[in-house]
Amino acid sequence: MNLGALLRVALRALAVNKLRSALTMLGIIIGVAAVIVMIAVGAGAQARVEAQIRALGSNLLLILSGARTQGGVRLGTGSNYTLSEDDAIAINREIPEALAAPALRGGAQVIWGNTNWATQVYGSTPEYLDVRQWTLASGRSFEPAEMSGSGKVALVGQTVVTQLFGDADPVDQVIRIKRVPFRVIGVLEGKGQSLWGTDQDDLIIVPIATARTRVLGAAHAVRQRAVSTVWVKVADGHDVKVIEDQVRRLLRQRHRLQPGTDDDFSLRNLSEAMAAQEASSRVLALLLAAVASVSLIVGGIGIMNIMLVSVTERTREIGLRMAVGARTRDILGQFLVEAVTLSLIGGLIGVVLGIGGAMAVARFAGWQVLLSPTAVVLAVAFAFAIGVFFGYYPARKAARLNPVEALRFE
Amino acid sequence: MADALICARDLVKVYRVGDNEIRALDGISVEIARGEFVTVMGPSGSGKSTFMNLLGCLDRPSGGEYLFDGQRISDLERDALAAVRNRHLGFVFQNFNLLARTSALENVELPLIYAGVAARDRRARALEMLDRVGLSERTNHHPSQLSGGQQQRVAIARALVMRPLLIFADEPTGALDSHTSLDIMALLQELNRQGMTVVLVTHETDIARFAGRVLRFLDGHLVADEHRAAADAARLLDEHQAVA
């Protein structure tokens, strides 16, 4: 018997007990729908984490100035400006796989027209945008002359734009940072919240020399080229760990640290923290899918149960089919196709319900969901496999019946 | 007999029920020639059903040898037996054994499906057989829409559709009234006259008289093998109708 004929026979047999077939499918329907919703929710959560990682910039190292001890009191990370702009320049020169940008940071009140806003002012170099993977929504970045000549120009973040300018175009407007006038030359693209919930768009970037002399005040001017942080981006395709070691060695050498002494800076691998977070969200997604697939297996047991009942009910039919020439594989195929038809139809209905369910979750619970075709195909394939696996035993039982006994079965 | 379609020698069938051995058949030897109309008789438990199951290739003997059309059946595998049944044997049962919710046409097509005959051919051959048993008007009816006699005709068409060498009829009139029984027997006799070998199991002497040969079974033994003149079912049917 060919597949088309088997399918017709299966559909007819299933149509005889419509309610029973529908109830049997229900297990698979719920299972497949649950798998699809769970994978969509899990993938959504993962996508959110990934988006945050992308916003931060991947392959990122953060170097912080070290601790200072003043009269026995240890003042903590960043209390001593052990890093300098020259460290960043040296990294860029010595390690071609790394791109470094020094940064100074301080809070400042910003005024435009009759509005004002407290924000963070970063002093840095044009590389900072590359390192943080920050693009400009409008305007331009700093030019070399502005860097060397302490130009009073600024790049503003989206939050600052909203708070200060409202709907007005900020480019070429003049703002006052600590009463010093700056011309806005560019607007940064929005990045949203960081993984730890801070607003990454609430900032202004100015050339580092300008920040030191005009904005952040005397404290920073004490040591001519000192900076609080250096951001380092490792070029794609290079092992962040290896570059991290190279950077550490270079800095220790530049700071003339003896072997065995502690670093006077702290070097953090941000990608690693991100990767851990991503891994945990992936585990969560897997866990959800695993729980959902348990219901698929329960559905499969339901199919096996009904198929066993069906084989018993149709023993005489099986005997007759054998009498007129059905071989073992004909009977096996007939019942196997019936089980798989049950599970596949259930699977397809489950896909429709699952997609609807995922959309409902996105709409009413406000969670981010991500429907992937792979998950849909996988769920249907799993339903198919369940049909084969749980349909095989009843089908084999049917195919092994003794024709004489089957024909005489009451 | 060179012309023997069925040749059974010392057929033994033993069933094991718990610790007891039941010898359902105890050394049966018989030959049936092409074109014969044989009836197998005996009380229940006599072994006639077991004998039929063996001859019908539905079961394998515990001992002895069975040649069907010159082929040793005794040592064929399950699927090989299925192929012999499919190609060379036709079965007619007491309770018709038609598939429910399936048209007469599709019921008749069933053996052709397992023989791998293409759909268009199948339909043509099934229609031809239904026409031959006088049911060309009822091809799309389901069994529940047909009378007992009509259902048995569908079953006979199904038995004939593969052009078998032999038809086994197991109490074919057991579920039918006497008039319809005569009708079915007339049909079987007509097929026999056209050359079909027929083996009929019955316990009714009324039905057995239409066969030219009677095999009587008792306690697993063949106790009688009689040749005699058969009654003509078609003529009896005419007389019935004349009286009515």
Higher pLDDT, A220 or A143: A143
**Residue B85's closest chain A neighbor by CA?**
A325
Does A222 touch chain B if contact means CB atoms closer than 8 Å?
no
Tokens of B36: 């014969």
CB–CB contact B114 A330 (8 Å): yes
Backbone phi and psi for residue B209, each to the nearest 5 degrees, phi listed first: -70, -10
Taking only the tens place, the pLDDT of each residue in A7-30 is 888 888 888 889 999 999 999 999
**Residue B57's closest chain A neighbor by CA?**
A323
The answer to which of A60-69, A107-116, A223-232, A366-375 has the lowest mean pLDDT is: A60-69
Yes or no: say if B218 and B173 are a contact pair by the CB < 8 Å rule: no
Sheet of B71-72, strands arranged across? B20-33, B4-17, B63-68, B71-72
CA A232 to chain centroid, in Å, comes to 22
CB–CB contact A326 B91 (8 Å): no
Yes or no: say if B54 and B25 are a contact pair by the CB < 8 Å rule: yes
The Cα angle at residue A173 between residues A172 and A174, in degrees rounded to 5: 115
Q: Which of B71, B70, B152, B76 lies closest to B107 in space, CA to CA?
A: B152
- Determine the angle formed by the axes of helices A328-360 and B78-88, rounding to 10 degrees: 100
Average pLDDT value for residue range B49-54:
92
Q: Which of B68, B101, B89 lies closest to B169 in space, CA to CA?
A: B89
Does A405 touch chain B if contact means CB atoms closer than 8 Å?
no
Nearest-by-Cβ selection for B114 from A1, A402, A404? A1
Q: What's the rounded Cα separation, in Å, for the pair B151 and B108?
A: 11
Q: What's the rounded Cα separation, in Å, for the pair B242 and B225?
A: 35
Residues contacting residue A114 through CB under 8 Å, at least 6 positions apart? none
Average pLDDT, chain A: 86
Residues contacting residue A153 through CB under 8 Å, at least 6 positions apart? A142, A146, A182, A183, A184, A185, A206, A207, A210
**Residue B89's closest chain A neighbor by CA?**
A324
Nearest-by-Cβ selection for A325 from B53, B86, B97? B86
Does A325 touch chain B if contact means CB atoms closer than 8 Å?
yes
Tokens of B213: 């040969």
* SS3 of chain B: CCCEEEEEEEEEEEEEECCEEEEEEEEEEEEEECCCEEEEECCCCCCHHHHHHHHCCCCCCCEEEEEECCEECCCCCHHHHHHHHHHHEEEECCCCCCCCCCCHHHHHHHHHHHHCCCHHHHHHHHHHHHHHCCCCCCCCCCHHHCCHHHHHHHHHHHHHCCCCCEEEEECCCCCCCHHHHHHHHHHHHHHHHCCCEEEEECCCHHHHCCCCEEEEEECCEEEEEEECCCCCHHHHHHHHHHHC
Sheet of B166-170, strands arranged across? B89-92, B166-170, B197-201, B37-41, B213-218, B221-227
Does this complex have an ipTM over 0.90? yes
Tokens of A207: 């050339």
- The nearest CA of chain B is from the CA of A385 a distance in Å of 27
Does the pLDDT value for residue A78 go beyond 70? no
Q: Which residues of B touch A10 (CB under 8 A)?
A: none
Q: What's the rounded Cα separation, in Å, for the pair B86 and B233?
A: 29
Does the pLDDT value for residue A79 go beyond 80? no
Between A and B, how many CB-CB pairs are < 8 A?
59
DSSP state, A57?
A: -
* SS3 of A116-170: EEEEEEEEECCHHHHHCCCCEEEECCCCHHHHHCCCCEEEECHHHHHHHHCCCCC
Yes or no: say if B99 and A320 are a contact pair by the CB < 8 Å rule: yes
- The nearest CA of chain B is from the CA of A394 a distance in Å of 19
Q: Which of B89, B94, B97, B107 is most worth mutating to test chain A (most A CB atoms within 10 A of its CB)? A: B97
> Pairing state of beta strands B213-218 and B37-41?
parallel
Yes or no: say if A398 and A322 are a contact pair by the CB < 8 Å rule: no
CB–CB contact B56 A323 (8 Å): yes
Q: Which residues of A touch B162 (CB under 8 A)?
A: 325
The answer to which of A41-55, A326-340, A344-358, B57-71 has the lowest mean pLDDT is: A41-55
Confidence grade of residue B11 (pLDDT, cut at 50, 70, 90): very high
Backbone phi and psi for residue A214, each to the nearest 5 degrees, phi listed first: -105, -30
Yes or no: say if B108 and B184 are a contact pair by the CB < 8 Å rule: no
Instruction: Provide the 10 A C-beta neighbour count for residue A20.
Output: 13
Does the pLDDT value for residue A256 go beyond 80? yes
Confidence grade of residue A223 (pLDDT, cut at 50, 70, 90): low
Higher pLDDT, A318 or B17: A318
Higher pLDDT, A388 or B234: A388
Does the pLDDT value for residue B78 go beyond 80? yes
Q: Helix or strand or coil: residue A61?
A: strand
Average pLDDT value for residue range B4-21:
90
Does the pLDDT value for residue B32 go beyond 90? yes
Q: Which residues of B touch A324 (CB under 8 A)?
A: 85-86, 91, 110-111, 114, 158
Return the amino acid letter for A168: A
CB–CB contact A324 B58 (8 Å): no
pLDDT value at position B1?
Answer: 45
Instruction: Provide the 10 A C-beta neighbour count for residue B3.
Output: 9
Q: What's the rounded Cα separation, in Å, for the pair B129 and A364?
A: 64
Taking only the tens place, the pLDDT of each residue in A151-192 is 899 999 999 898 888 888 888 989 998 888 999 999 998 887
Yes or no: say if A369 and A41 are a contact pair by the CB < 8 Å rule: yes
Q: What is the value of pTM for the model shown? A: 0.72
Q: Which of B65, B68, B30 lies closest to B165 in space, CA to CA?
A: B68
Tokens of B190: 């007509």
Yes or no: say if A67 and A406 are a contact pair by the CB < 8 Å rule: no
**Residue A15's closest chain B neighbor by CA?**
B101
Q: Which of A178, A128, A133 lies closest to A152 in space, CA to CA?
A: A178
CB–CB contact B101 A328 (8 Å): no
Does the pLDDT value for residue A263 go beyond 90? no
Tokens of A260: 């065995």
Does B80 touch chain A if contact means CB atoms closer than 8 Å?
no
Q: Which residues of B touch A321 (CB under 8 A)?
A: 110, 114
